[in-house]
Amino acid sequence: MFRNTYDSDNTVFSPQGRLHQVEYALEAVKQGSAAVGLRSNTHAILLALKRSSGELASYQQKMFRIDDHVGIAIAGLTSDARVLSNFMRQQAMGSKMVFNRPIPVNRLVSAIADKAQVNTQEYGRRPYGVGFLVIGLDHTGPHLYEFSPSGTSFEYFAVSIGARSQSAKTYLEKHFESFADCSLEDLIRHGLHALRETLQQDKELTTNNTSIGILGLSGVHESAGTSVNFRILEGPPIEPYLQSMQPKEVPPPSSASVPPPTSGDEDVQMSE
Amino acid sequence: MDHFPTNWGRPKYDGFDTNATYPFHDHGHNQSAAFAGATQHTQQPIVTGTSVLAIKYKDGIMMAADNLASYGSLARFKGVQRLHPIGDYTVVGASGDMSDFQYLQHVLDGLVISEEINAQDGHTLGPAEIHEYLSQVMYSRRSKMNPLWNSLLVGGVKDGQRFLAYVDLLGVTYFASTLATGYGAYIAQPLLRKAVEGRENTLTEPEARGILEEALRVLFYRDARSINQYQIATITANGVDISGSLKLETAWGFAEGIRGYGSQTQ
Amino acid sequence: MPDMSAIVNPQQRQFNPYAENGGTILAIAGADFTVIAGDTRQSEGYSIQTRYAPKVFHLTDRAVLAVNGFAADGNMFVKKVKQRLEWYRHAHAKDMPLRAIARLIQTMLYAQRFFPYYVYNILGGIEEDGTGAVYSFDPVGSYEREACRAAGAAQSLVQPFLDNQIYFKNQTPAQGSSHPAHLPLPDVLSIVIDSFTSATERHIEVGDGLEMYIVLAKGRTLPDAVTTLRPQELPSSAGDGERVFVLKRDLKKD
């Protein structure tokens, strides 16, 4: 697939100053099905597209609960995600044990970013092949972070990762200014619209292939009390949200939803 | 009398102080072997501070302790500060072994550096977090049978919430609107409860100060390991303030009129 | 002649890692409910340390744990049980069943067999078959399921009373009738309240406050006689499952 001299070891730079193993790890994230995250002043939500290996197979898990105030959506290698989410759960519980305080979300994300960075520098290791969207709630309000295997983390108003996530980003960039004051229902509708952009031509969002993760007060379609805790909606409970979606606008030919070609690929040929 | 100051006398009755927060008076008699073992665990306190008092009042928490560190019955160090600020919202007051307390100050100052100064992300430690952390340290040390020989009070105000709690060498914790450690638990606590309970939200700062000063005065009259110099810490929404060393006003004129002690016969 | 006995038998006072912090706990199982209760006084010797230190803890939608003995061990033990339950939730996406929590507690206690948690545990709640259940433990993990149990400072005052009122010991039913297998909730609450007011009266380490947790089986509602006491309902994770209520009462503070 790739032909290259400088990609067999993650501790060796290419003459262009790049770490190819790390970039291949980022590619593993792009191969995963898409996940979208966005936030308002009151809520942070995640939406993810679940894949299944066949008609008779179950759908892969795309979201994990870390603590009452933290949840993640993943794109990439699920097994790597389980290792990292387990680490995040340990960190969260450690904070409860030692300080009796929910772990600050930014520190949790920094902790996994630092862990991932080690794998980009030490001999004999490989980078994680998974990217996270992390939502969290603390006394400063709701937050949304992206974590990637290169060891970086950033906070966002709205973001997406995974296959065809550029199309979702385009939608989010067009609408994000209205998110701050959105109700939970409107926020989820925007999220679904963005997630829909990542679908293949003949596919659509269904109760089977969609996961929604929510932090913040429960909305009108939810039954469970007044909790602000992280919960994952799957199956029939997401039907009312799917119903609320607007029919898709037909894009004019050669629109911006085609991702721009990446620049500077001088020593790598990546095949599709 | 011998030249071991810890043998220089203290009340023989030790039922009042089962944890021996006062120096241990009767040592084993094979003292030459005391340091023969590979590791030594604290079995008794050496240089000790006596009571710490604290109450809730309208604007926050007020805590008081005197400036004495005793070496057995010897008033060894007379300018010791036993109230220590941690971060921007908390004060820890200590009775018991002063070297263990200095170690704890070192640990807590390091904690604030790693948690607040290094992170600089706006997530700061309040009194509740400091107290939980301290409890874990104290409990884990007691579980290693190597306790830090202190009774500590943690007081503070954060996000408009007052916090006042106790933790000791066993890891035992509790919360109340008035707290006192050591001898103060017997002598000052009843006075504090009578003056404070039910009035936590109305007591003014001068009133709270008066209550603590009066309790310190009674302790100075009755506790042989106390001194008439003290400090008061106030923790309010405006932050931590620890006073300089203050002098307790005491009156001894009444002693003239007391009959029945010593050589006086009538 | 100086006293040589001290030299012959050197006296060593060792650090004692335990304390006894008083208080009493109690749980009674009904047909489709369980009541778990404890006073809120924490003491050492003749000193009241605080008038409010909870000894009863809400674990899951259908399990409540009461802990009595050495307070530092008790709080640490509850914290660790809660963390184990959280890991179970992560792994299985549901709450641990009551009988599994009981076995977990025995394992955790026995793991400290040679430096025990100096605590008496009583676990109460609803089993998977919908019945009320009480499990009682000793400090090193021996446990059994029972209909009722008292533990702590006033165990010797309260347990005989429960034997008489719950198990009908030393009572003979009227001709042609028999004792009921389970008492209704209002009767159980009355017995709990009477137990604690009596223990407060006769034991110096009991008093200040009383916290009663009521766990109701799926689909059951509180009888009117209990609703009028205005119990507070605790939030549950699923809307239609078991429900937990708390009732607080004052006890004498002297």
Q: For B53-94, write each residue's pLDDT tens digit.
A: 999 999 999 999 999 999 999 999 999 999 999 999 999 999
Residue B84: CB partners within 8 Å, gap ≥ 6?
A: B91, B92, B93, B94, B101, B105, B108
Highest mean pLDDT among B30-34, C13-17, C177-181: C177-181
Residue with the larger pLDDT of the pair B163 and B44: B163
What pLDDT digit, counting tens, does each position of A118-153 carry? 999 999 999 999 999 999 999 889 999 999 999 999
Task: Please check whether residue A221 touches C, CB under 8 A.
Answer: no
Q: Which of B6, B21, B42, B181 is catalytic?
A: B42
pLDDT at residue A265 is higher than 50: no
pLDDT at residue B30 is higher than 50: no
Q: What is the pLDDT of residue B27?
A: 46
pLDDT at residue B13 is higher than 90: no
Confidence of residue C12 (pLDDT cuts 50, 70, 90): low
A11-25, B45-59, C208-222: range with lowest mean pLDDT: A11-25
Taking CB atoms and an 8 Å limit, are B132 and A107 in contact across chains?
no
Taking CB atoms and an 8 Å limit, are A98 and B123 in contact across chains?
no
Told to judge if B124 belongs to the known catalytic residues of this protein, a careful annotator would answer no
**Cα–Cα distance measured from residue B112 to residue A58, given in angstroms and rounded to the nearest whole number:** 48
DSSP string, C138-159: -TTS-EEEESEEEEETTHHHHH
Q: What is the pLDDT of residue A272?
A: 38
pLDDT at residue A252 is higher than 80: no
Q: What is the pLDDT of residue C124?
A: 98
Q: What is the pLDDT of residue B20?
A: 55
CA nearest B131 in A: which residue? A99
| A236-256 average pLDDT score | 80
Residue with the larger pLDDT of the pair A262 and C34: C34
Average pLDDT, chain A: 90
Confidence of residue A1 (pLDDT cuts 50, 70, 90): low
Q: What is the ipTM of this complex?
A: 0.92
Instruction: Please report, rounded to a whole number, the percentage of residues in chain B having pLDDT higher than 90.
Output: 74
| A63-79 average pLDDT score | 97
End-to-end CA distance of chain B: 32
Confidence of residue A9 (pLDDT cuts 50, 70, 90): confident
Touching B (3+ Cβ pairs <8 A), the chains are: A, C
Which residue among B121, B128, B133 places its CB closest to the CB of A104? B121
pLDDT at residue C184 is higher than 60: yes
Residues of B in contact with A98 (CB under 8 A): 132-133, 136
What pLDDT digit, counting tens, does each position of B171-208 carry? 999 999 999 999 999 999 999 999 999 999 999 999 99
**Cβ–Cβ contacts within 10 Å for residue C110, how many?**
15
Q: What is chain B's Cα-based Rg?
A: 19
Which residue among B19, B28, B139 places its CB closest to the CB of C12? B28
- The identity of residue C146, as a single letter, is E
Both tokens assigned to C157 = 């005052």
**Cβ–Cβ contacts within 10 Å for residue A9, how many?**
11
Q: What is the pLDDT of residue A250?
A: 65
Q: What is the pLDDT of residue A225?
A: 63
pLDDT at residue A269 is higher than 50: no
Task: Please check whether residue A250 touches B, CB under 8 A.
Answer: no
Residues of A in contact with B125 (CB under 8 A): 99
CA nearest A231 in C: which residue? C237
- Cβ-in-10-Å burial (0-12, 13-18, 19+) of A153 comes to buried
Q: What is the number of CB-based contacts under 8 A between chain A and chain C?
A: 18
DSSP state of A52: B
pLDDT at residue A264 is higher than 50: no
CA nearest B137 in A: which residue? A98
End-to-end CA distance of chain C: 51
CA nearest C240 in A: which residue? A224
Which residue among C83, C238, C239 places its CB closest to the CB of A97? C83
Task: Please check whether residue A93 touches C, CB under 8 A.
Answer: yes
Task: Please check whether residue B192 touches A, CB under 8 A.
Answer: no
Which residue of B173, B174, B179 to mutate against C (max C Cβ within 10 Å)?
A: B174
CA-based nearest distance B230→chain C, Å? 24
Which residues of chain B approach chain C closer than 8 Å at the C-beta?
Answer: 18-20, 24, 26, 28-30, 41-44, 135, 139, 142-143, 145, 147, 166, 170-176, 185-186, 189
Touching A (3+ Cβ pairs <8 A), the chains are: B, C
CA-based nearest distance A98→chain B, Å? 5
pLDDT at residue A211 is higher than 70: yes
pLDDT at residue C73 is higher than 70: yes
User: Scanning the structure block, which residue is given the tokens 């490989």?
Assistant: A126
